[in-house]
């Protein structure tokens, strides 16, 4: 039987978000950076899906940081701190990266809020509204185009094939766990 990791959704606040990155507010800065490719801005959307309170996949990447800015509708950003065993994951693949389930957080983001996640932070997004449009500040390779996030949701093998510098991990398959969100 799979284990459900209970995580309460909390408002996005700077102090609570520190283990994962920073909240860009009136008196702070965020510095988008990438070691390879270029920093790209794209406007995307995520739709509500039944069962959105169960999260079974997370993304991770080490060559750039990433920023999420909802512009219409709210989103929930699910995060966990970077693994402490990066070398093992680089050697043996993303399933070897440590994921500390005790430190998973979920933050509700209202339109105009800005969450800046550090390289290596585990993450995923979802919405509890019909649709959320957001700005994604991310890495892009030359000629890559817009992220096909909506079409790839829940399709880890296809997602891994599209952007080889982002690793998607199915935690249900890997750890027999799902993250269950509550309000």
Domain ranges (residues) in the chain: 3-182
How would you write the pLDDT of the chain (183 residues) with one tens digit per residue? Answer: 899 999 999 999 999 999 999 999 998 999 999 999 999 999 999 999 898 899 999 999 999 999 999 999 999 999 999 999 988 888 998 889 999 999 999 999 999 999 999 999 999 999 989 999 999 999 988 887 777 655 555 554 555 556 678 888 999 999 999 999 998
HSE toward the beta carbon, residue 35, CA cutoff 13 A: 9
Query: Residue 155: its pLDDT value, please?
Result: 53
Q: Is 152 exposed, middle or buried (0-12, 13-18, 19+ CB in 10 A)?
A: middle
Query: Residue 165: its pLDDT value, please?
Result: 80
Strand runs labelled E in 50-164: 54-55, 57-60, 66-72, 75-80, 105-109, 115-117, 122-126, 131-140
Query: Residue 161: its pLDDT value, please?
Result: 57
Query: Residue 159: its pLDDT value, please?
Result: 52
Query: Residue 153: its pLDDT value, please?
Result: 56
Query: Residue 1: its pLDDT value, please?
Result: 81
Q: How far apart are CA 156 and CA 159, in angstroms?
A: 5
Query: Residue 142: its pLDDT value, please?
Result: 83
Is-contact 156 57, C-beta < 8 A? yes
Query: Residue 116: its pLDDT value, please?
Result: 96
pTM over 0.85: yes
What CATH number does the domain located at 3-182 have? 2.60.120.480
Q: How far apart are CA 51 and CA 133, in angstroms?
A: 20
Query: Residue 75: its pLDDT value, please?
Result: 96
């Amino acid at each position: 039987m799979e284990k459900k990791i209970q995580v309460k959704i909390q408002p996005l606040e700077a102090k609570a978000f520190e283990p994962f990155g920073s909240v860009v507010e009136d008196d702070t800065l965020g510095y988008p950076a990438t070691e390879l490719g270029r920093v790209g801005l794209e406007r995307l959307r995520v739709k509500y899906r039944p069962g959105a309170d169960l999260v079974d996949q997370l993304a991770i990447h080490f060559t750039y940081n990433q920023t999420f800015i909802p512009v219409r509708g709210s989103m929930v950003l699910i995060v966990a701190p970077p693994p402490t065993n990066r070398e093992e994951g680089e050697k043996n693949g993303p399933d070897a990266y440590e994921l500390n389930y005790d430190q998973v957080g979920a933050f509700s983001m209202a339109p105009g809020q800005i969450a800046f996640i550090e390289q290596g932070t585990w993450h995923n997004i979802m919405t509890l509204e019909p649709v959320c449009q957001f700005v994604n500040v991310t890495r892009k390779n030359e000629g890559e185009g817009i992220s096909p996030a909506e079409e790839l949701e829940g399709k880890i093998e296809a997602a891994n094939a599209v952007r080889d510098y982002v690793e998607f991990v199915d935690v249900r398959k890997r750890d027999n766990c799902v993250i269950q969100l509550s309000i």
